[in-house]
Every structure is written in structure tokens, then in C-alpha cells.
Amino acid sequence: PALLEIKNVVKNYDGKTPVLEGVSLELNRGEVIVLIGPSGCGKSTLLRCINGLEAIQGGEICLEGKAIDYNKKDLTGLRQKIGMVFQSYELFPHMTILDNIILAPTKVAGVNKERAKKEAMELLNKVGLAHKAKAYPRELSGGQKQRVAIVRALAMHPEILLFDEVTAALDPEMVREVLDVMLDLAKQGSTMIIVTHEMQFAEAVADRVYFLDKGNIVETGRPKSFFSAP
Ligand code: ADP
Ligand code: ADP
């Protein structure tokens, strides 16, 4: 089976109005999927369902051929395997950049603190932010904070990374530095689902593009065929 299988997922928030009307898609190891579609069509909802931040009312989501049990009290194990990066960074303001990054590896994954710090520094170095390790989030630009948020997700070695419009809140001059980090990850073989409005980036990064409209996947294809005019 594919690494992640989304089968006929149905979701509503109010007990009646469907936001996802039976969405299916498959993600293979090393594959990058980009989800596009108009605002409010359910892209963010789908990512949040995959990560267990929202409950689904129908269908199932399987990881490595096994249906994920979202009713489990503790979804830590799931979130170790499926990392997520949000539009709003979600860094802890009272903690340094380094402490933000090593928090989950040390507290959740049980990695030794010195080892976690060493790896965090290596990851920070890769995104050009080693010099910010001791700074606090408020001292960083939006683009820098988002690169830190990506590093924090990577520090858990997830099998899948979900990106929910991670450049949407950034000033235009900072968008590129964040997209470049994601392009590098794609080149290194990371498995990712990316929600973005950056169309050139989508074409460059995606193995497959899904177009969502009103809670349904209405089109899918390879990026070349998808973005070129008929
Ligand atoms: P997209 O990411 O494509 O912009 P969303 O998944 O954010 O779309 O939203 C899909 C629909 O679900 C929208 O109609 C939105 O208003 C609704 N919605 C999203 N989150 C919630 C929520 N927490 N409670 C109620 N309705 C929500
Ligand atoms: P880079 O080009 O290295 O990504 P920026 O041009 O975004 O960095 O920012 C340069 C410096 O200015 C950063 O190191 C950061 O400390 C500071 N800075 C930028 N934007 C902000 C901001 N919104 N709040 C606080 N400091 C900022």
C-alpha cells in the first residue's frame, strides 16, 4: 500500500454541512503532493484531519496500510510520524529557538539533550539560522521564524510533513527563503503534502497536484500537464 492512504474522508464541523465530501488520495514515500483550491474549500481541514487535530465523520486514513485510530487519547506517536507546519509558526515565545527545537525530541522522543542540541544546530545551520539559536522568537523575522518552525518539525524525523500555507502570512521578500527550504527537502526525498497559493513553487515542487473544490477533489495530475494551458 501507499505510505498514506486517504479513503473517502468525510468531515463537517456542525453535524450537517459537509466540508470534505469523500476525499481520497494516496501519498507514496518520497512523494510531494500539492493541494490547491479556492479559499474555504477544505485544504486546511484535510491536513488537520490527517494529523488528528480534527475528527472525521466518515472514511479512513491509513498509515503504512494500517487505519489510524484517531480516538486514541494520546496522538503523540502519530504526530511523531506526521509532522505539521502552520501558517502562524506556533513557536513558544518564552523559549529560545534552540529550546523550541529540542523540546519534542527530548520530552517526547526521549533523545538525550546534548544529542538533540547537536542535531538542532546542524538543522539550523542548513537553513542559515545557527546564529539565532539563543535568540527568542520575537527577535526573528517572519521568514526566520517559519524556517525555525520547519526545523522543529524535522527534528522529530517524521515520515510525512504537512505544510499549511506556511508562507501566506509572510512579507513577500521572506517567502522565497521559506520556499527554498521546502524545495531542498523535496530534493532530499522528503515525503510531503503542501497547501500553497504559490503556483510557480507548486509546479516546481510537486510530483502530483490535487485541486480541491467545495470539499471534493475535482482534478489531479502531474504539475506540467496541470499548469500548462490546454
Ligand atoms: P481552506 O484551507 O481550503 O481555505 P478550510 O479547511 O480552512 O479551507 O475551511 C473549509 C470550510 O470549513 C470553510 O467553510 C470554513 O469556514 C470551515 N471551517 C474551517 N475550520 C472550521 C472550524 N474550526 N469550525 C467551523 N468551521 C470551520
Ligand atoms: P534574513 O535576510 O537573514 O532572513 P531579515 O532580513 O528577515 O533576515 O531580518 C534581518 C534581521 O532583522 C533579523 O536578524 C531579525 O533579527 C531582524 N528582524 C527582521 N524582521 C523583524 C521583525 N519583524 N521583528 C524583529 N526583528 C526583525
Atom of ligand 1 nearest to the CA of 37: 3
148 lines ligand 2 (CB under 6 A): no
- Percent of the chain at pLDDT > 90 equals 89
pLDDT computed for residue 73 by the predictor: 79
Name which residue sits closest to atom 12 of ligand 1, judged by CA: 19
**Of 91, 96, 144, 167, best ligand 2 pocket probe by most atoms within 8 Å of the beta carbon:** 144
pLDDT computed for residue 229 by the predictor: 65
Pocket of ligand 1 (CB under 6 A): 13, 19, 37, 39-45
| pLDDT level of residue 21 (50, 70, 90 thresholds) | very high
Give the DSSP per-residue string, 169-220: TS-HHHHHHHHHHHHHHHHTT--EEEE-S-HHHHHHH-SEEEEEETTEEEEE
The ipTM (two decimal places) reads 0.72
Give the integer Cα–Cα distance in Å for 104 and 130: 19
pLDDT tens profile 58-91: 999 999 999 998 888 788 889 899 999 999 999 9
CA dihedral over 46, 50, 55, 61, signed as positive or negative: positive
| pLDDT level of residue 168 (50, 70, 90 thresholds) | very high
Atom of ligand 1 nearest to the CA of 195: 2
Give 105 Cα–ligand 2 centroid separation in angstroms. Answer: 27
* Helices 113-126 & 97-107 angle (0-180, nearest 10): 130
Q: Residue 7: is its pLDDT beyond 80?
A: yes
Give the integer Cα–Cα distance in Å for 215 and 22: 8
Give 40 Cα–ligand 1 centroid separation in angstroms. Answer: 6
Give 13 Cα–ligand 1 centroid separation in angstroms. Answer: 8
pLDDT computed for residue 230 by the predictor: 62
Q: Residue 225: is its pLDDT beyond 80?
A: no
pLDDT computed for residue 126 by the predictor: 96
Tell me the pTM. 0.88
Residue located via cell numbers 520575537: 138
Atom of ligand 2 nearest to the CA of 177: 4
146 lines ligand 2 (CB under 6 A): no
- 61, 54 contact by CB (below 8 A): no
Give the integer Cα–Cα distance in Å for 147 and 150: 5
Residue located via cell numbers 524556517: 147
* Helices 172-187 & 142-154 angle (0-180, nearest 10): 20
